[in-house]
Amino acid sequence: MGSPSYMGSLFAQLGGTAEAYEQYKRAEVIARERVRVKEGSDASRSNLAAILRSLGQTTQEVSRDMRVAQQLYEEALQVRQSILDHPFAGDGTAAVPDIVRYELSEDHTRVGATIYRLGDPARALQHFQRAFDLRRALRESLPTNSDVTETDRRRILGALPIDIARSRLSMGELSFRLRDPAKALETYHEVTETYDNSAAKSPGNTRLKHEAGRIHGNYGDIKLHTDGPAGALSHYERCRDVMKELNEYDANESGYKRDLGLAHYRLGNHSLRSNDPAAAAEHFRASLEIREALVALDKSNDRRQMELMLALAHCGDHARAAVIAEKYRGTESPDNELLIDVTRCFAQCSAAATSDAALRQDYADKAIAALSAAIAQRYRDSVFLEFEPDLDPLRERDDFKLLVDSARAAN
């Protein structure tokens, strides 16, 4: 039997997020005690930061509490920064600053991504910029840094080109959300080419192929919003094809399944925007089938439940989707990402309840109530509200327009 941290990573890889969460919680207790016993040595703090990061990731899946995940990521960042600011080799093992900076760049990325998902693009951009600056500086310092072992040097220098590209993509996406679509498109075009070329040169690198496929999906979202359905289709199809290939390669990897479900979901919305309801229904059914299977494997995973909720609404099962949405809307102190997903679900439920005008109105009102709650919690991503296809059933409502105006004015 391995350590709790190792077992947590193993369960996470196999899709057992509840088990992974419990293992990481055990590892956190041990890591905090180790910091106390070792009087805050560099090694003990580094171990704690790594476990906090893993726990933050798992928290997003199990309890779907993005604010708690953000707190864990921020603590990991603070712990890592404290190693740089106040080094202490109390156990005889001093941290190498450049290696700490490399990990710190990922901590900034995680914090930025969480803030972004909670609806504050401008603040998220600060963390993505910091991650980019750290990685670019490491590209210059690592080749001649004699404190770094050759093994670590090769490992980090091998990863940095993709890490830098990831930082650029994050900033490119934030450019779109902060109303600079030209910069976003330019960045995505350049970096997508880099990923595609790298993946083509390393056909056996499934991690690189997976990331390239995900980037095409995100690129398709931006193209859908800027160039319309025609500009997005090739990217959405490329994403689907990559995820299908990866699923055939490893049917047990839950991340591949999840991204294939998302690829079909995106193609469903693309088909709706292209006035092809038959194709949309086919894609949404495919997404629903995958998401049903993922929930069956891990019923405690709230993130999967919410993704299932959205697919159900699109497939016409608005009653079942609404039950899930009500469950999460009733969560104590729901965060903004949860509220926006509930808004999307009820909006689609209103579109699906075609034979009951009163129920359709009730669903739409609940969508507006959830969005109002997010705006009251300073949700600021007005661009998402303007372009997200799931919100199309609300667009003609005056109260929806006022809420979008409120989000826009908050920036």
CB-CB neighbours of 81 under 10 Å: 16
Q: How far is CA 254 from the centre of its chain?
A: 15
Q: How far apart are CA 168 and CA 124, in angstroms?
A: 13
| Cβ atoms of 171 and 187 closer than 8 Å | yes
Over its length of 411 residues, how does the chain's per-residue pLDDT go in tens digits? 445 444 445 445 545 567 777 888 889 999 999 999 999 999 999 999 999 998 998 888 776 788 899 999 999 999 999 999 999 987 778 899 999 999 999 999 999 999 999 999 999 999 999 999 999 999 999 999 999 999 999 999 999 988 999 999 999 999 999 999 999 999 999 999 988 988 899 889 999 999 999 999 999 999 999 999 999 999 999 999 999 999 999 998 989 999 999 999 999 999 999 999 999 999 999 999 999 999 999 888 888 999 999 999 999 999 999 999 999 999 888 999 999 999 999 999 999 999 999 999 999 999 999 999 999 999 999 999 999 999 999 999 999 999 999 999 876
Query: Could you read off the pLDDT of 179-213 as tens digits, one per residue?
Result: 999 999 999 999 999 889 888 998 899 999 999 99
Q: How far apart are CA 215 and CA 341, in angstroms?
A: 22
Predicted pLDDT of residue 376: 96
pTM for this entry: 0.85
Mean pLDDT for the chain?
A: 92
Q: Which two tokens stand for residue 336?
A: 């903004």
H/E run at residue 406: helix 398-409
Q: Which two tokens stand for residue 208?
A: 């690189």
Q: Which two tokens stand for residue 225?
A: 């919003």
